[in-house]
Structure 1
Amino acid sequence: MSKPLTRQAQMRRATLASLLTNLWLSIMQIAGGVLSQSQALIADGLHTLSDLAGDGLVYLTARHSNALPDRDHPYGHRRFETLVSIIIGLVLLGVAVGISLNAADRLLNPETLVAPSGWALAIAFLAIAAKEGLYHYTIKVARQTRSRMLQASAWHHRSDALSSIVVLVGVAGAVLFDLAYLDALAAIVISGMLALIGGKMTWGGVQELLDAALDEDKMRQIGDTIIAVDGVEGFHQLRSRQMGGAALVDVHIEVSPRISVTEGDHIAERVRAALLEFVPEVEDVTIHVDTEDDEHCEDGPCLSLPSRWSLFKILSLVWSDQRLVEHLHIINIHYINERVELDISLPLSLFDDDISAARKAADKLQKETAQVSVISAIRVYWH
């Protein structure tokens, strides 16, 4: 049983098929246009020939865009695809302008049209079939690989098929019905369609370069996937950006403040695995683990709360029994609701294992600690 093709191999195979098809098709159109005296077919052949340069660019980009991340490009090279999709979109816009200007010129100067022979009709039919076939094959691979670049290339093939329909209408009108103006009218309609496709491709690529987020439905799916993971109590600061058909996601998940750091990390890893499994577009996830929604705390009171070492110094100032300070062991610090809760441990031997004396000392510690406004609770454990 053969192994499935890699993303790069699929993209390069689709582009190679386009290169070879456009090569023989351009030769056939130009030669056929000269022999049949069809200026429209010659122009379409030159258009197809120009596509070879674009296909070559896509072929080379498929290799670079799938290269592994490196020190200078830690997120990979998918933006090559984005850049090429913008270039293809601009080419489509240029083609649309060229077709519309040419059509307008023919409408204004109908005497410049040359009546071609019947061979031009057959070549135009073949060109349409070949380009439409390329569109369906390339768009299929683009969806499988989630490649914006291949998607742009596929729509370019569709635009080529539409431009060949313009040729067919013009040739048929001239050869069969002596209605040469149909060619120009159809060209104007098709140029509008090309401009719409090219504008969409260009705008989508620009949005991707500007780190535009995924659409609302996809973000909702990501949020539902996150909240479904056991141990996640909520999330905030969910952000996404796109890179060559892939999505990068950043999110802060909220977990119980009483669990260990390792359990919180385990929950985060399960969130990451769930997103990679159930949301196909997601290829990388960065997760920050929080115990509460601290989005409003940025540069606020949350950052001003004392660290472990600062808490030692604070307690040494407010506790009257310095013996307890010397033997203090802070087990856990919980930063909750913009205040601090402490779990501490002290040796029972300081009170000759007298439980009653130890409890009195703990009560006194809690009363003295209550003077510190940032500490909301302190729990004493004896060992």
Structure 2
Amino acid sequence: MVLGLTGEHTSDITGESIPEEQRSLLASRTMILSMGVTAIIGFAELIFCLLSRNKLFLIEGAGNLAWLVPDVMMLFTLRVGSKKADWKMNYGYRRIETLFLLFFALGIAVCMVHILYHTITTPPEQLPAGYGMATVVFSLVLIAVLAFLCRFIWKTGRKIGSRLLLMDAMIIRLDIASAAILLISGIFLIVAPSITIIQTILTVIVGMALLIYSLNEAVQAAKELIDASPSMQVMTIIEQIVEDTPEVRFVSEQRIRSFGGAVSVDITIETAPDLTVSEAYRIATSLKDRIRSQVEDVIEVRTRVHPAGTFLAEEAEEWYHDG
């Protein structure tokens, strides 16, 4: 199984506000669809291999069927990760997805290193020329089916904020690249059967792209498993949300922490001194809802509303006592 290229990254997740029950249902259905299509493609590639005697289809078919094992693990992880916070896991179970993503990405990286080493050190095989046109047609069908599946999984992953689904979409994109290699090999079987180096070149390019992507995902997952400040992007988004609120005159304090991937937000804002309690509550609730809808994995938002000038008054008093 070989993966595909993309200019997008998981930081582009939209993070819509979706109940965990609905999120789990969408993720599970999407993974089951992915597993079903992968299984059908795997069997089809094995059948085509028996007819054409092309070992590339044997490798692809066996790889797709073997990939059902981590897919089942991924499905289980998505369902467990959707559980709500309880006394055992105060910040929810979403970090289980992050933990699986870490090992999943490292496993893909190791596989890519092995594939790259084998590709570079082993001379490319001469493919049978009798099934050139059939290889082209079959590869085009694979590319069309995988492209539709990849688009659906990627959109769902962005919608529910699931990096595991986004990772699965990346794997399918590499499958598309693999089908493209088969397509090109079929074309060369028709026009120039003796040229085999193109297969090695394309495999190395695709493998290097996936290796870099997997290592980057592993690093990001490891950071999320450590209690630390979230990424600068998350902090910038939250700051922008608060500053874009018309009633907010000043942000006197902002503390944002990441607990195993779950983000905790603590903000103190200053507003008009004559604001009523109900209006202050409305502003705090609005900020909470907007932050949750635009930032992934926010476990809590605490907002304190003070009258304008409170921060300066406190600083002046502290300066007076220190002096």
Give the one of 53, 73, 76 matched to 1:37.
Answer: 53
Q: Which residue of structure 2 aligns with residue 241 of structure 1?
A: 258
Residue in structure 1 matching 2:94, options 78, 81, 97:
78
Contact preservation (8 Å) 1:83, 1:205: yes
Q: CA deviation at 1:180?
A: 1.6
Counterpart-to-counterpart distance in 2, 1:269 and 1:207: 34
- C-alpha separation between the residues in 2 aligned to 1:60 and 1:217? 30
Are the structure 2 counterparts of residues 211 and 273 from structure 1 closer, same or farther at C-alpha, using a change threshold of 3 Å? farther
1:182 paired to 2:195? no
- 1:218-241 deviation digits (Å, cap 9, x = unpaired): 423422433537476423242143
Alignment correspondent of 1:57:
73
Gaps of 5+ in 1: 295-333, 340-372, 377-383
Q: Contact between 2:177 and 2:206, CA under 8 Å: does it hold in 1?
A: yes
- 1:318-359 CA deviation, whole Å, 9 max, x = no partner? xxxxxxxxxxxxxxxx977556xxxxxxxxxxxxxxxxxxxx
Give me the whole-angstrom Cα distance separating, in 1, the residues matched to 2:204 and 2:115. Answer: 7
**CA gap 1:94/1:133 in 2 versus in 1, 3 angstroms:** farther
Give the structure 2 partner of residue 206 of structure 1.
222
User: For structure 2, which runs of at least 5 residues remain unmatched after alignment?
Assistant: 1-18
- Mapped partners of 2:227, 2:139: distance in 1: 42
CA–CA distance in structure 2, aligned partners of residues 35 and 180 of structure 1: 21
Task: Give the aligned partner of residue 99 of structure 1.
Answer: 115
Preserved contact between residue 82 and residue 93 of structure 2 (Cα < 8 Å): yes
Normalized against structure 1, the TM-score is what?
0.66
Query: What residue number does 2:182 align with?
Result: 167
Give SS of 2:263's match. Answer: strand
Aligned partner of residue 80 in structure 2, secondary structure: helix
Q: Using the alignment, how far apart are the partners of 1:28 and 1:239 within structure 2?
A: 50
SS at match of 1:6: helix
CA deviations on 1:247-295 (whole Å, 9 max, x unpaired) are 6232241558x999x95x984773353232255225333437497669x
Equivalent position to 1:226, from 231, 234, 242: 242
Partner in structure 1 of residue 137 of structure 2: 122
Counterpart code for 2:151: H
CA contact (8 A) 2:241 2:290 kept: no
Q: Using a 3 Å threshold, how does the CA distance of structure 1 residues 242 and 138 change in structure 2: closer, same or farther?
A: farther
Specify the SS of the correspondent of 2:217.
Answer: helix
Q: Which residue of 2 aligns with 1:147?
A: 162
1:105 and 1:231 map into 2 onto residues whose CA distance is 63
> Counterpart of 1:129 in structure 2: which amino acid?
A
Percent identity (aligned): 17
Contact 1:155 1:197 in 2 (8 A): no
Report the TM-score, using the length of structure 2 for normalisation. 0.76
Q: Does 1:275 align with 2:288?
A: yes
Letter in 2 for 1:63: R
1:230 to 1:259, Cα distance in 2 relative to 1, 3 A = same
1:357 corresponds in structure 2 to: none
Deviation at 1:21, TM superposition (A): 0.5
Q: Which has the higher strand share?
A: 1
- Which residue is 2:268 aligned to? 253
Confirm whether residue 197 of structure 1 aligns to residue 221 of structure 2.
no
Greater shift, 80-89 or 57-66, is seen at: 80-89
How far did residue 125 of structure 1 move? 2.7
Deviation at 1:79, TM superposition (A): 0.9
**Counterpart in 1 of 2:5?**
none
Measure, in 2, the Cα distance between the counterparts of 1:127 and 1:255. Answer: 58
The change in CA–CA distance for 1:231 and 1:35 in structure 2 (over 3 A counts) is closer
Q: Does the 8 Å CA contact 2:109/2:211 hold for their aligned counterparts? A: yes
Q: Is the 8 A contact 2:264 2:300 kept in 1?
A: yes
> Whose relative contact order is higher, 1 or 2, with alpha carbons under 8 Å and at least 6 apart?
2
Asked if 1 retains the 8 angstrom alpha-carbon contact of 2:237 and 2:295, the reply is no
Partner of 2:13: none
SS in 2 for 1:234: strand
